[in-house]
Amino acid sequence: MSIRFRLLFSLTSVVIVSVTLFMLAAYLLSVAATGDYRSVRSFYTIHYSLHPLSEEEESIFLDLKYLAKHDPAKLTDPALLQDYDFQLKMVQAGLLVRKNDDLLYATPNMKEADFARALPAYEMGNYRIRETMNVGSRFFAYAKFDFYFDAAQTEKGSIFVIRERSPFAEVVRKMLPVLVGLFALIVLLTGIVLYRYVTRKIVLPLEGLRKSAERIKEGDLTEELRATTKDEVGQLIASFEDMRRRLQESIRLQLQYEDNRKGLLSNISHDLRTPITTIKGYAEGIRDGVARTPEKLEQYANAIHTRASDMERMVEELFYYSKLDLNKEPFTFEDTDIAALVRGFVDEHAIDFERAGIEIAWEPLPEQLVIVRADREKLKRVVRNLLGNSIKFMVNEPKRIAVGIRVDEPHGQVTVMIADNGPGIKAEALPLVFDRFYRADDSRTPGTGGSGLGLAIAKQIVEGHGGTIAARSEEGQGTSIYFTLPILQKRR
Ligand SMILES: Nc1ncnc2c1ncn2[C@@H]1O[C@H](COP(=O)(O)OP(=O)(O)O)[C@@H](O)[C@H]1O
Ligand SMILES: [Mg+2]
């Protein structure tokens, strides 16, 4: 059974049950009030017994009653009676005057034979002035007054101000279809309104959810679902959307890992093949006696050694990178003054820079100690990789590397900058330099050789410290690499 049908079914039954209960309650209430199981009908007659006449009719009745009491003789005057009858006709009522057993006067349309018989008996005490009566199939409400025409009290008379009402059965016959129709209409309208409301708020969103689940099943995770309400259905959709987004993200990551793995394999095989081919070539040279002189032999041996060392370094870097990548390389943090660390490293290698003809230009260092939580060896490795790149790619004269350490007070960070005046990095390559194995094309030439892992390792390490790393470069002008670490504290 679909929700739509259930809904329609339950709404209809609720309305029907409530209407039935309502009518039953009304019936029981009237029985309780009157003590009569036919009470609905008696309510109807009692109502007219209490108020048979309208106000105008009542006042005419009182006039006639006054005459009956004080001047009954006048009630035999047809002209006067006609006058009163006329007045009553104006308000759609009639007049009857009875003398003994004869009708002295009757409004024309009440002159039937059974009318005379239906009239109540004399009751000189006038206890029941207001009443109803049935004449054939017609139903009347009236006010009556009994009196004597003569002082000797022999001539009995009655005046009736009388008005026809629809009999109960007819009222019911007329009203019932209208009422039933009305109820049915209310049922229908309520049903339609609620049905539409619930359909819009529940069924349609669920339908959307189902379609989305179907799409996901078929592997399409792109379509976004939006919850329009905050109710249970809205929450369900929001959770579903959250799940979809995570699934999409995890699939994206998985694909990326897969891509990475493929790239890694092809890079490794490519980068290892080159030195291996070279080594093989030199080894063959030695074996085939191409290197005949001791100098040649030494040259070949050195070349083999260099390539083997390159390979060793590359394998080491690869191993190190993959350990960082898999979080298998533990960090040992110590509170460290970042300026002292950078300065110390540069000073240690001062002779190497001098030999390479490179001038190190220091920007003013912070005046106080800037303490960061650092794995010193790893941070030194970052600085070495950055300086190493600057040196490796350096072409312009004078060779100059600027080193700066700046405190970013509001963000509680310190930024280390290493900037060279080398060839720079092409704008399109700039976002890629931190990717593992990425090397801008020209640097893939031997001579500058490298694994393309230097910056990737630097990035892993800096991020392991809760920091960020970025590069800025302009082709032909030089490259600046910035890495930023959170400051632990500052000391004078
Ligand atoms: N200081 C620099 N000047 C110019 N290019 C640079 C510089 N540093 C990095 N690069 C570019 O970024 C690439 C990636 O650097 P890196 O990860 O250290 O790999 P590698 O040094 O092994 O080539 C380099 O191949 C080079 O193209
Ligand atoms: Mg490098």
Return the CATH number at 55: 3.30.450
Ligand 2 centroid – CA 211 distance (Å): 50
- Domain-embedded: residue 154: yes
Compute the radius of gyration of the chain from its Cα atoms. Answer: 55
Tokens describing residue 367: 């005046």
Q: What integer pLDDT is reported at residue 446 of this predicted model? A: 45
The yes-or-no verdict on residue 233 having pLDDT over 50 is yes
350 with 447, same domain: the answer is yes
> Which structure tokens are listed for 392?
């490796």
Residue 258 CA, ligand 1 centroid: distance in Å: 25
Atom from ligand 1 closest to the CA of residue 457: 17
Of 94, 154, 93, the closest CA to residue 122 belongs to 154
Contact present, 372 and 488 (Cβ < 8 Å) = yes
**Which domain-ending residue is among 165, 189, 223?**
165
State whether residue 73 is helix, strand or coil.
Answer: helix
CA–centroid distance, residue 383 to ligand 1 (Å): 13
User: Please, what sign has the CA dihedral across residues 415, 421, 425, 427?
Assistant: positive
Q: Count CA atoms within 13 Å of residue 344 on its CB side.
A: 11
> 409 phi and psi, to 5 degrees?
-55, -55
Which atom of ligand 1 is closest in space to residue 424's alpha carbon? 4
Same domain, 244 and 129: no
Q: Read off the pLDDT band of 301 (50, 70, 90).
A: very high
Pocket test for ligand 1, best of 383, 389, 403, 469 (most atoms within 8 A of CB): 389
Q: Residue 401's beta-bridge partner residues?
A: 360, 420
For residue 304 the two structure tokens come to 């083999």
Residues 318 and 374 in one domain: no
In a domain, 314, yes or no: yes
User: Which of 433, 462, 481 has the most ligand 1 atoms within 8 A of CB, as the residue to mutate?
Assistant: 433
> How confident is residue 492, by pLDDT bands cut at 50, 70 and 90?
low
Q: Give the type of residue at 401.
A: I
User: Range with the lowest mean pLDDT among 100-104, 341-345, 360-364?
Assistant: 100-104
Does ligand 1 have an atom closer than 6 angstroms to the CB of 418?
no
Predicted local confidence at residue 397, as pLDDT:
81
Distance between CA 136 and CA 118 in Å, rounded?
9
434 C-alpha to ligand 2 centroid (Å): 10
Per-residue pLDDT band for 444 (boundaries 50, 70, 90) equals: very low
The verdict on 307 and 388 lying in the same domain is no
Number of domains in the chain: 3
Of 267, 298, 324, the last residue of a domain is 324
- 40 lies in a domain? no
Q: Tell me the one-letter amino acid at 277.
A: T
The lowest-confidence range among 90-99, 355-364, 411-420, 422-431 is 90-99
Question: Which of 30-44, 285-299, 333-347, 414-428 is least confident?
Answer: 30-44
DSSP lists the bridge partners of residue 400 as: 359
| Nearest residue to 490 (alpha-carbon basis) of 375, 404, 412, 415 | 412
CB of 449 closer than 6 angstroms to any ligand 1 atom: no
Q: Which atom of ligand 1 is nearest to the CA of 436?
A: 17
Q: What percent of the chain has pLDDT over 90?
A: 36
Residue 253 above 80 pLDDT?
yes
End-to-end CA distance of the chain: 78
How far is 244 from 224, CA to CA, in rounded Å?
8
Q: Does the beta carbon of 452 lie inside 6 Å of ligand 1?
A: yes
Last residue of a domain, one of 262, 291, 324: 324
Question: Do 454 and 420 lie in a common domain?
Answer: yes
Written in H, E and C, the secondary structure of 278-315 is: HHHHHHHHHHCCCCCCHHHHHHHHHHHHHHHHHHHHHH
CA of residue 440 to ligand 1 center, whole Å? 7
Q: Residue 8: its pLDDT value, please? A: 78
**226: pLDDT strictly greater than 90:** no
What does 401-462 look like in DSSP terms, one character per residue? EEEEEEEETTTTEEEEEEEE-S----TTTGGGTTSTT---GGGGSTTT---S-HHHHHHHHH
Q: Domain of 294? A: 232-324
Q: Mean pLDDT over residues 126-136, rounded? A: 87
Same domain, 266 and 301: yes
Give the pLDDT of residue 376: 95
> Is 417 a domain residue?
yes
**212 ligand 1 Cβ < 6 A:** no
Task: Identify which of 395, 439, 469 to mutate to test ligand 1's pocket (most ligand atoms within 8 A of the CB).
Answer: 439
Average pLDDT, the chain: 87
